[in-house]
Every structure is written in C-alpha cells, then in structure tokens.
Amino acid sequence: MPPPKAPVHPDLPKFHDHGRADEYSWLRDDNWQQVMRTPEVLKPEIREYLEAENTYAEDLFGGLNGAKAKLVEELKGRIKADDQSVPAPDGDYSYYQRFEAESQHPIFCRRNIALGSDEEVMLDVNVEAAGKSFFRVVAVEHTSDHGRLVYAQDDTGSEMHTLVVKNLATGDIIDDSISNASGDVVWAEDHETFFYTVLDENHRPSKVFRHRAGDDPENDVLVYEESDPGFFVSIGKTESRRFVVIHAHDHVTSEVHVIEAAQPTQAPRVLAVREPGVEYQISHHGDRFLLRTNADGAEDYKIVETPVDSGAKETWTDLLAHEPGRLVLNLGVFKDFFIRLERVNALPRIVVHQFSDGEEHEIAFDEEAFDLHMVPVHEFDTTTMRFAYSSLATPTEVYDYDMAARTRDLRKRQEIPSGHDPDNYVVRRLNARSYDGKFVPISVVYAKDTPLDGTAPALLYGYGAYGMSMPASFSPNRFTLVDRGFVYAIAHVRGGMEKGYQWYADGKGKKKTNTFLDFIGAAEHLVSQKFTSPKRIAAHGASAGGLLVGAVLNLRPELFGAAVAEVPFVDVLNTMLDDTLPLTPPEWPEWGNPLENKDDYRTILSYSPYDNITKMPYPHILATAGLSDPRVTYWEPAKWVARMRARKVGDGLIILKTNMGAGHGGVSGRFAKLEEIAFIYLFLLRVFNHLDPEEEPIETS
C-alpha cells in the first residue's frame, strides 16, 4: 500500500524578521496538556493520520509476522524469567525485587533477616497493572523504621504520577489520591511525613509539598516553589539520612536547600545561592557537607567540604582538588569512607577514600572498554559498597566491595538463559579523527567470525547532549544483530562528557554541529578500517540522539543505508521557540534561546533536522513516537516524517510508528517491550538482507 500523505496546511511563523514554512504544524494539538493526561481527546484528524501511519508500518512488514515472532522469542530467551536483584540490607531487613516466570512487572519484597522470616511481598506491580494498557512504577520508598511504603505509579506514560502509601504491617492502603506528582518522593525521619514534587500546568516539576500519611492531600503544605520556569526541582536525601535535599537546577546551574529529616516541619535552608554556571550536589558526613562542584573553574569537578551550619560558597574548602582530565562523576559517602566514580581517558573508575588518614585506592579492571557504576545501598555505617560492571560482551556483574579489606565478592552475574559466551566476541576501543583533528572514541563489539572486509553491516549509535556519556555496557538485545553479522558501535561524540567537561561544552549551543560531524567521522573511520562500508551503516539514536540522526542524514545521506530515530528531537527550532512546552525553558542553556537571541535562532535553524530537509535521496528511515510523551512530543517525529516523505527522492522507505498509549519510554512490561525492539530489528535485518534466505528483502537504493 502507498504511504500516507499528510495534508498540507500553509503556515508561515515569523521570528526575528525571518519566516519559515511549517506546513505540518497542524499535527500539534493545541490541547496537548490534556492529551498527555487523556490521550482519547486527541483531535480526530490528527489521530486519523497517526493511525494511518501505524497501519502502513504494520502492513509493510505484514508478510514477516513469523520472522518478527521469531525475533521476539529470541529476545525473550535472553531474559531470565524468574530473575531477582541482589538483596540490599537495611538494619534488620533486606530489600529486593524479583520477577516471576511470565510476569511483565517486578514484585518488590523484603525479608526480616534478624528473625530469619519468610519473604514479605510489599508491592506486586503485576496486580496493580492488571487490565491496564500501560502501567509503570517509578519509585518505591520505605520508611527507615520499615513501617510504611510509598510508591509512584503512572498509567498513561505521561510521567504524571499518583502516589500510594501502604502500611507494611497490615497491608492497608493509607493514601492513594495524591496526583500530578513527578515521581520524586522522600520520607522524613519521623516515619510519618514525606516530601514530594508536583508538576505545573506545563508539566514542569516546580513545587515541593509535605504530606503526613493518612491526612487529606488538600491539607498538604507547600514547602518550596521555584519561580524560574527554566529550573526544575528534584528531591532526595543524604546517605546519612539526616537531611532532605531540595535541588533546583537547569543544565548548568544548581541551588540546594536542606531540611533536617527529623524535623520535617522545619523551613528549608539554602546552602550556596545559585550562581550562573555553578553546579553542586551535596552529601553529608558528621559536622560537614561534602559537595561535588565545578566552582572556581573546576570544569571537570572537584570535591569540597563546608560546615553543616553554613554551606555558603565562601566557606567551601577543597577536599579533592580539581585535576583537568579527571572527570568526577559521582560521590558516595559512608561513615568511614567516601567513594567517587571518575572518568579518565574515556574509561570509568572507582576510587575509595578513607576519612581517617586520607588514603585512597582504585578498584581496577582489565577490559579495553567497559561500564562501571555505583549501586545505591541503604546503609551508612558499613564498610561495604556495591558496584556493577559490564562490557559490550560481558554480562553485568554485581559486586560487594569491602572498602577496608579491599576485597570484592561477586553477588550476581547476569544470566542469559539461551546462552552467551563472551569469548565469542571481540570488544574494541577505536579513535576516529573528526573534521577538526579531535579524536572521537568508538566502542565496538562484533562476533569473532564476522569478516572485517567492508561487507558487514554496522549499527552506529550516538547521543551527544546534556553531558550524558554513553556507557560501553552490556545489552543482551544487541546480539540479535551481532550474531547475524552486524558490527555494533557507539560513537562517543562531543556533547557527552566521555572525555571531560570540555567534551560536553564543545558539543552544545553554538558548537552543536561538532556532535554531528563527530558522528560522521566515526562512521567514516569504521569504513576506512573495513568494519563496514558506505550504505551498509545504520545510524541509531533516541530522543536528543534522534536529533543527531536527523542532522547527519541531512548532511551525509549517502553514507547511511538506514536510520532508526526513536522518539527523536527533530523539530528543534519550533520547540525551543515554544516556552509553554515542558522542557523548553530549562533547556535554553543547552541549545540557546531563539526567542530572545537572534544568533541562537540562526544557529538552531542551521541544523534543526525538520528545517533542513531538502530534495535528497534519504536512506530507509524508521521513526517512533509516543502520544503521551512529555519529553519529545509526538508531533516532532510526525512532522519530520511527513516533510521528509514529501521532499525526498529515490525509493528510501520513511516509516513512522506511534505508540498511542505510551510516552517517552515506550510500552511498559519487560516482555511487551520486546515487540517494539523486534520491530526495529526486523526493519534493520530486512534493509540489510540479513533475514533468513526465504524472506524477501527490501532492495536498497
């Protein structure tokens, strides 16, 4: 069947004396706030178009339902059906979550280890999700006296949560009507009061409320309200449990307020007043706060200490001085130690610091490219920290590490039921020269029997925004492609912080095009080293990574044979001009403010994927969207696909698949998610002729 043809409604928005055609602007429902809450109210003409696109996408692969089902079963075979997390001790109890054999959702449990009691199920998400097309729990927090539980549930994918409070002794529900919450929730140390954040009318977390379990939510007390629409508010708690932390921030500036957790009615106290470009996050130890910060030009961050009764910037003194090239990523504090996660030469490491004498040691690893992260624990007065390790070929391993004895105990190794031998694969770390001489790290994995003569297809993934670094971690799903001869690669482009803060700064704002040119340089390097060849590469990115995909397709469409853009941020200029959208004001520091600044307008216009579609032979493209997505609104990929299909030349397929009942993260449920992944892999395998021989492939142009 022919692809849908979106109606054209002339529209010529004008900013800074510049007019731009936006003939598909009608796909943006002016009632988008209500659509996120109640997707059924979407305008009929928009729904009709999106459903026509979904029908086209399904019919296009209708003859391959058997192949898709095979992929789903293959993906499912890599998931341990009755999996369980490593229990986390907390006083007399140990907390964990597990899955039953055919369950879609986790079951949150605990045991009283002091009494040696049987398992106690605190929350079975499968029961709560029964009969719902979407259901996700994003936070589960127990009181430190183990008497109550609060969790945040979302039944639309819009990330608007309802908080539910449960009495763990009786199993009774205490509260279930606190709505419009962002999902952040923190208990006070009176074990009856908790704090939570609320979304404003434009879906921004801007207020912190205090609630006493069992009280009418109408009586909840407003504790903090952020007046700057460019700042988000989140809440947390220090590892010592002494302080509730309110964190107001955008992408480059932060401000912290604290409340004594044992005195929940206390007014929040600000530490260091926000200063543009200065970020800090706090931990607590004894009579001081420890802060990770970039203050005083410490672009790769340092650690400072300040008295608990102050916190003002003039009282900060260095505990760990700034060292260029050593990016301090995270800080964890215990009674006798603190640990920090760092990145040096694009690889992570954990360093343990002993408070008593200042002695430090590093936890060492051997692989050429790997991922490492600290796993949160409940206990403060302990010598045991927990971390997780994996590589592109090595399944995740969870270790308990004794910081005093310097010994590690393997607590869990990710099991792949259908089988996985890391020795069958090669993991490489490459360096590609970008257009300006900068070297871009590339993490690569492929099967040992994959020929490196340019014939193999490659899937090249990239992100490159917000300083987020893409880990060289294990994902069992990828081996559906790798075992069929694909080379899988991650381009660690500028815009992330793989090589320090400057790597991020050189890929944002007016320097954003470095992100795209780095990705192109990575693709060209894979070609020059015979990992693949032009038109045998698929570009892959999600969200801001979808912007990367859209931009490189406009710059070098002939280099790629296919592209997958999941919930792609491709209508950048229109979104950054709309200050009512959830993420727009907070993201002006990242992209620029085209409303106020003509230069920012011109910069974004120069690369915005939607605005730069021209008459070119684009490769095969699969784009996805979520109707209730508050991060990348559904109309961005819809408009992008409509315009690209209207302007392209050649026979490249342009496909849009919109989830009409989910948001940014796609469907809920661990097995249901596999249907979405299988569709993407089916698209790639068919494009590159890697399905079973009896399946008819798509001819590439």
User: Which tens digits make up the pLDDT trace of 143-197?
Assistant: 999 999 999 999 999 999 999 999 999 999 999 989 999 999 999 999 999 999 9
Give the DSSP letter of residue 84. Answer: B
629 is catalytic: yes
Q: Taking residues 516-527, what's their average pLDDT?
A: 98
CA distance 16 to 212: 50
Domain 88-322 and domain 427-669 have a common topology = no
* Pair 491, 518: CB distance under 8 Å: yes
Quickly tell me which residue has 């055919």 as its tokens. 102
What is the arrangement of strands in the sheet containing 120-124, beginning at the earlier edge strand? 88-90, 93-98, 107-112, 120-124
Long-range contacts of 128-131 (CB under 8 A, 24+ apart): 128/153, 129/104, 129/105, 129/668, 129/669
Q: d(Cα 592, Cα 142) in Å, to the nearest integer?
A: 41
pLDDT tens for 233-282 read 999 999 999 999 999 999 899 999 999 999 999 999 999 999 999 999 99
Q: For 396-415, how does the pLDDT look when each residue is reduced to its tens digit (9 = 90+)?
A: 999 999 999 999 999 999 99
- What per-residue confidence (pLDDT) applies to 697? 45
User: What is the mean predicted confidence (pLDDT) over 344-370?
Assistant: 91
State the residue for tokens 């690889």: 347
The CA distance from 251 to 236, in Å, is 18
Which residues make Cβ contacts (< 8 Å) with residue 486, sequence separation at least 6? Answer: 446, 450, 456, 457, 458, 459, 684, 688, 690
Q: Is the pLDDT of residue 699 over 80?
A: no
d(CA 360, CA 301): 18
Q: How confident is the model at residue 367 (pLDDT cuts 50, 70, 90)?
A: confident
- Of 460, 525, 462, 463, the C-alpha closest to 488 is 460
Residue 521 CB-density burial (10 A; 0-12 exposed, 13-18 middle, 19+ buried)? buried
Query: Which of 699, 690, 675 minimizes the C-alpha distance to 57?
Result: 675
Question: 287 pLDDT exceeds 90?
Answer: yes
The answer to whether the beta carbons of residues 363 and 401 sit under 8 Å apart is: yes
Q: 263-301 in b/e burial notation, b at 16+ Cβ within 10 A?
A: ebeeebeebbebeeebbbbbbbbeebbbbbbbbeebebb
Backbone angles phi, psi at 39, to 5 degrees: -55, -20
- Of 24-33, 559-568, 660-669, the range with the lowest mean pLDDT is 660-669
Do 303 and 283 meet the contact criterion of CB atoms below 8 Å apart?
Answer: no
Lookup: tokens for 244: 């509730």
Round the average pLDDT of the chain to a whole number and report it. 95
According to the CATH classification, is domain 427-669 in 3.30.70.580? no
**What are the CA-CA distances from residue 163 to residues 181, 190, 233, 369, 578 (Å)?**
7, 19, 17, 40, 30
| Helices 635-647/44-60 angle, 10° precision | 60
65-76 and 672-687 helices, crossing angle to 10°: 120
Mean pLDDT computed over 592-605: 97
Contact (Cβ atoms closer than 8 angstroms) between residue 410 and residue 420: no
Q: With pLDDT > 70 as the criterion, what percentage of the chain qualifies?
A: 99
Catalytic site includes residue 16: no
Least confident of 22-31, 97-106, 359-368, 667-676: 359-368
* Rounded Cα–Cα distance for residues 2 and 5 (Å): 9
CA distance 250 to 254: 7
Residues 6+ apart with CB under 8 A from 204: 229, 232, 582, 585, 586
Which residues are CB-contacts of 151 (< 8 A; sequence separation ≥ 6)? 108, 123, 137, 139, 140, 141, 163, 164, 166
Phi-psi domain of 648 (left: phi exceeds 0; alpha: psi -120 through 50; beta: other): beta
Distance separating alpha carbons of residues 148 and 144, to the nearest angstrom? 9
Q: Is residue 390 pLDDT above 70, yes or no?
A: yes
For the chain, the structural domain boundaries read 88-322, 427-669
Active-site position among 29, 518, 600, 629: 629
Per-residue confidence band for 689, with pLDDT thresholds at 50, 70 and 90: confident
pLDDT at 698: 46
CA distance 168 to 90: 15
Residues 6+ apart with CB under 8 A from 690: 457, 484, 485, 486, 684
Q: Among 1.10.10.10, 2.130.10.120, 3.30.530.20, 3.30.420.40, name the CATH number for the domain at 88-322.
A: 2.130.10.120
Q: What is the pLDDT of residue 693?
A: 53
Task: Output phi, psi for 544, to 5 deg.
Answer: -65, -25
Nearest to 39 by CA among 52, 24, 50: 50
Q: How far apart are CA 291 and CA 312, in angstroms?
A: 12
Give the pLDDT confidence score for residue 369 in this predicted structure: 85
Q: Check 322, 600, 664, 668 and give the catalytic one.
A: 664
Q: What percent of the chain has pLDDT over 90?
A: 93
The pTM of this model reads 0.95
Given the residues 543, 608, 628, 668, select the one marked as catalytic. 543
- Please determine, for residue 700, whether its predicted confidence score (pLDDT) is greater than 70: no
Secondary structure string (H, E, C) spanning 245-303 = EEEEECCCCEEEEEEECCCCCCCCEECCCCCCCCCEEEEEECCEEEEEECHHHCCCCEE
Tell me the average pLDDT across 71-96. 97
Span between the terminal Cα atoms of the chain, in Å = 19
Question: Exposed, middle or buried by CB within 10 Å (0-12, 13-18, 19+), for 2?
Answer: exposed
Cβ atoms 580, 558 nearer than 8 A: no
